[in-house]
Every structure is written in structure tokens, then in C-alpha cells.
A and B are shown apart, each in its own frame.
Chain A
């Protein structure tokens, strides 16, 4: 690595970057109350995994296009997940009047007790 700041970028750096993005997305999923913000931070998690796939595919010694091909499918499927999730969030908003998760939980908690 040496004393130079601009050392050669290795697979390790991409792995650490994708781990950091994964944990930021995990914090966003677990801590945020807004439904749409939860869905966006879920996309961060999926993007971190895609970045890891691409870095493994491009740092391999032999040329392999399996990782590149897999990432295209995961991109499409994650867009589909987001579309369905956004639709459910809109339905929940039309039924309950807000998209705050804890308020929705408190509304339905009283119904379950009856």
C-alpha cells in the first residue's frame, strides 16, 4: 500500500465500500418511520450487493460474464419490487391517512385486541 495516498485500487476497497453502503441501507430500513424512505434504503442494500457482484466479476483473473449477467436481472427485479412496494404504500395511505409506520401500527394494535 505504501505511503502514497493514490495506491492501486483492489478488490478489498470495493468490498469495504459495498459493506458500508449495505449497513447504511440496513440502518435506514430499521430506523426510519416513513414507508417510502424504507423502500429507498432497501434499494441501497440491493445496490451494494450489485456493486459486490460487479467487483467480483471484474477482478477475476479469467474473464467471466456471469456476474455481469446476474446484475442485469437483479436490477430489473429490484425495480419490480419497488413498484409493488410503492403501490402498497399508496394503498396503505389511502386506507389509513398516513405513511408513518408506528402510527399505522398503533391504529391496528387496538383492532387486534378486540
Chain B
């Protein structure tokens, strides 16, 4: 436990919350303000890792320069009609498709890590190698390797098929 871990947790929680809030906002100016908070938190995460110059460049470009550009454009456009929310109509089933694809990608990484291919690549450039196996170690100890993989593949395929079938309607 160190000070960096506490700052990482604070910054990452604010980052995920504000990035979702910027997509769900109806007015464009609120989208811009939440996005500024996201970019500021990314600059803070750069500072936590010790990349001071990158953090400074990130602050100057993303928190100062780009919001001025987008804000002037929002003023010029002066849109009267408001947006509907993010998840509307048939588009809300796209979320299920993306969730299925995301889970399939994680399963693929797990499958690669079993054959020690992924470990050998990562071992040269990372300090804590053992933390890669923490996520799936509980399920492997309970059920064994192959039933867990079958369940994961089934869950990913079911999510993707459900999303695609609703998307077609």
C-alpha cells in the first residue's frame, strides 16, 4: 500500500464515472464538461506513474485547448433540438453485442495464458507477473480448467446471439 495506489483508485473511479456520464448527458455542453474531467483524470494517472512531461502536455492540450475548440463550435451550432439519450430504440441492444465481444476477448486472453504464450511475452517487460493469473484462479480451483472454459464460451456466445437477434427486429 502506498500513496500512488490510493491516488490510482480515486482517479480511476472518477474517470469511469465521468466517462459514462459524458455519454449519457443530453446537452452537449455537459458532455464537454464531463469529458474535460475525464481528460484531467488521465493527466493525473500519468502523473501517478511518473510521466510528468506527458501529464503537462495532456493538461495543456486536452483540458485547455480542445474544450475551447469544441465550446466555440457548440456556440456556433446553437442546436435547438435536444438529443435523445444514448440508449434508444434498437440501438440499445448493441450493448449486449459489445458485452459479448468483450467477454470473448477476455476468454481468448485466458486461453492464451494457459499455454504460457502470453506469460512469456509479458515476463520481460513487467514487474508483477503473477497478478495476471489472479482473475481466473478462483474459478479454476473450484471447477477445473476445461468446464470453466466451456461455460465462458457459452456465456459469450449466448450474449452475442441474444444481442444480434434483438438487433434484427
Bound together: yes
Instruction: List residues of A whose CB falls within 8 A of some B CB.
Output: 1, 4, 6-14, 17, 20-21, 23-28, 30-34, 36-37, 39-41, 43-44, 47, 50-51, 54-61, 68, 71-72, 75-76, 79, 82-83, 86, 89-90, 93, 98-100
Knowing A57-B51, A89-B73, say if A99 contacts B79 (CB, 8 Å): yes
A98 and B142 CA atoms in complex are apart in Å by 56
Contact of B125 among A8, A56, A83 (CB under 8 A): A56
- A23/B98 in contact, CB under 8 A: yes
Residues on the B chain within 8 Å of A8, using CB? 1-2, 5, 128
CA–CA, A108 and B145, complex, Å: 53
Q: Judging by beta carbons under 8 Å apart, are B5 and A75 in contact? A: no
Interface check B159, CB cutoff 8 A: no
A5 to B83, CA, bound (A): 40
Rounded to whole angstroms, the CA-CA distance of A40 and B67 in the bound complex is 10
Contact A7-B45, Cβ < 8 Å, known A59-B126, A90-B76: no
User: CA A32 – CA B83 in complex, angstroms?
Assistant: 9
Cβ–Cβ contact A9 & B98, under 8 A: no
Number of interface residues of B (CB under 8 A): 59
Q: A11-B126, A79-B65 are in contact. Are A98 and B81 (CB under 8 A)?
A: yes
A39 to B50, CA, bound (A): 29
Residues of A within 8 A of B19 (CB): 21, 24-25, 44
* CB-based closest 4 A-B pairs: A6-B1, A58-B49, A10-B128, A10-B131
User: Does B28 contact A86, Cβ atoms closer than 8 Å?
Assistant: no
Rounded to whole Å, the gap between the CB of B91 and the closest CB of chain A is 5
Is the Cβ of A47 less than 8 Å from the Cβ of B81? no
Which partner residue on chain B sits nearest A34 by CB separation? B83
Q: Which of B128-158 contact A (CB under 8 A)?
A: 128, 131-132, 134
Check if B91 sits within 8 Å of A31, measured CB to CB.
yes
CB of B162 within 8 Å of the partner chain: no
**Beyond known contacts A10-B126, A26-B98, A51-B42: 18 more, CB 8 A cutoff:** A8-B5, A12-B131, A17-B15, A17-B16, A23-B98, A31-B94, A34-B28, A34-B83, A37-B23, A44-B38, A57-B51, A58-B50, A60-B125, A61-B127, A68-B51, A72-B54, A99-B79, A100-B81
